[in-house]
């Protein structure tokens, strides 16, 4: 049998043909690397000089494989496709020559990435703004100075030139400590925090699943400061023991870490309704709700989080700009159902 596939350098694949090896090089490689590369892709790599046998490249796909041959495939660095403009509707709250402010809907990814190379906010912005977006963020993130999760709704600002990008980025990096930047969110959470208002000061870092975040000890290598201020705005289905089945909470960020509100609220025992990543263990709480509310919760398929307020200093005029986005329809239905 052929020896098992060997991994050499980061972008190099090495195989050694055993005594049974025979046939065309492209066909043999397609068999050996079934599931990794198509025969057409292998043929292209051979013709591009990316495949060598016994140190000799520039060979033909039809070259015969012989026992003992050492075949090396040097893979080119993968290139991220440059995003193209797409006619995706935008809810524009404000726009001038320096920036654009939009209300992001649920389900819209902010910028292209693995699994989402099209259909993103960046694709929509390129179509809407043309070549005017700031280039500081790179081709995949033109003008993007902050993000919202795919299923989080609310206000976002995007820079349309490099000067505006730098000014806005500095404000977000400062987290409003010395300037007018404010970010406020509305979240519907399970239960009710013991305190009606408070501060969660808990560092965040990568979780066991690298796509998620977790509270970390300060000594952890990847721990980053994370501070969330919260206030309970409304309580739903209060019980005799002074607890509630759910609450509407307003959160204000002092830092802006990935998934910060979602992780922090789960950390204090009150994850967001609909949050499959950080609140899945609380799904059975819905069984305590009246039938009508339980049905609405069952159909709510995203984290109940809305970035309703964004305030910042205009990068050119210095004016304090204040924007609010109304509660999205699905979250309003959820709240109305919880009130019943």
* Residue (of 124, 126, 127) closest to 135 by Cα position: 126
CATH superfamily label, 176-340? Pseudouridine synthase (3.30.2350.10)
Take residue 103 and report the two structure tokens written for it.
Answer: 């209300």
- Domain 79-174's class? alpha beta
Q: d(Cα 158, Cα 129) in Å, to the nearest integer?
A: 11
On the question of pLDDT at 268 being above 70, the answer is yes
Residue 141: Cβ within 10 Å count: 22
Q: Which residues are 190's β-sheet partners? A: 246
CB hemisphere CA count around 307 (13 angstroms): 30
pLDDT digits (tens, 9 = 90+) for 54-81: 988 878 888 999 999 999 988 776 555 6
Residues that are catalytic? 149
* Mean per-residue pLDDT, 145-153: 95
193-211: average pLDDT: 90
Please state which architecture CATH assigns to domain 6-74: Roll (3.10)
Q: Please indicate whether residue 199 or residue 20 has the higher confidence score (pLDDT).
A: 199
**From residue 61, how far is each of 34, 65, 70, 72 by CA, in Å?**
17, 10, 15, 14
Span(s) in the chain for CATH 3.10.290.10: 6-74
Could you give the residue range(s) of every CATH 3.30.2350.10 domain in the chain?
Answer: 79-174, 176-340
Look up the pTM and report it: 0.75
Burial code of 300-323, b = ≥16 C-beta within 10 A, e = fewer? bebbbbbbbbbbbbbbeeeeebeb
């Amino acid at each position: 049998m052929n020896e098992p596939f060997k991994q050499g350098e980061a972008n190099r694949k090495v195989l050694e043909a055993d005594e049974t090896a025979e046939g065309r090089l492209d066909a043999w490689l397609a068999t050996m690397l079934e599931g990794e590369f198509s025969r057409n892709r292998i043929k292209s790599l051979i013709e591009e000089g990316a495949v060598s046998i016994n140190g000799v490249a520039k060979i033909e796909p039809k070259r015969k494989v012989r026992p003992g041959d050492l075949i090396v495939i040097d893979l080119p660095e993968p290139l991220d496709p440059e995003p193209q403009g797409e006619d995706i509707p935008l809810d524009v709250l404000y726009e001038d020559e320096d920036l654009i402010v939009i209300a992001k809907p649920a389900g819209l990814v902010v910028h292209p990435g693995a699994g989402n190379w099209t259909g993103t906010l960046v694709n929509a912005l390129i179509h809407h703004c043309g070549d005017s977006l700031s280039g500081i963020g790179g081709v995949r993130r033109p003008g993007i100075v902050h993000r919202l999760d795919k299923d989080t709704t609310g206000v976002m600002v995007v820079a349309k030139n490099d000067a505006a990008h730098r000014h806005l980025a500095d404000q977000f990096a400062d987290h409003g400590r010395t300037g007018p930047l404010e970010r406020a969110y509305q979240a519907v959470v399970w239960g009710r925090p013991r305190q009606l208002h408070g501060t969660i000061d808990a560092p965040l870092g990568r979780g066991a699943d690298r796509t998620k975040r977790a509270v970390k000890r300060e000594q952890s290598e990847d721990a980053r400061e994370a501070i969330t201020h919260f206030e309970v705005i409304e309580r739903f289905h209060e019980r005799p023991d002074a607890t509630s089945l759910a609450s509407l909470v307003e959160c204000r960020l002092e830092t802006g870490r990935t998934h910060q509100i979602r992780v922090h609220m789960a950390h204090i025992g009150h994850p967001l309704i609909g949050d499959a990543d950080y609140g899945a263990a609380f799904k059975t709480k819905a069984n305590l709700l009246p039938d009508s509310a339980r049905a609405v919760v069952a159909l709510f398929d995203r984290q109940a989080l809305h970035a309703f307020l964004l305030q910042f200093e205009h990068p050119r005029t210095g004016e304090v700009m204040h924007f609010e986005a109304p509660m999205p329809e699905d979250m309003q239905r959820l709240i109305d159902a919880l009130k019943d």
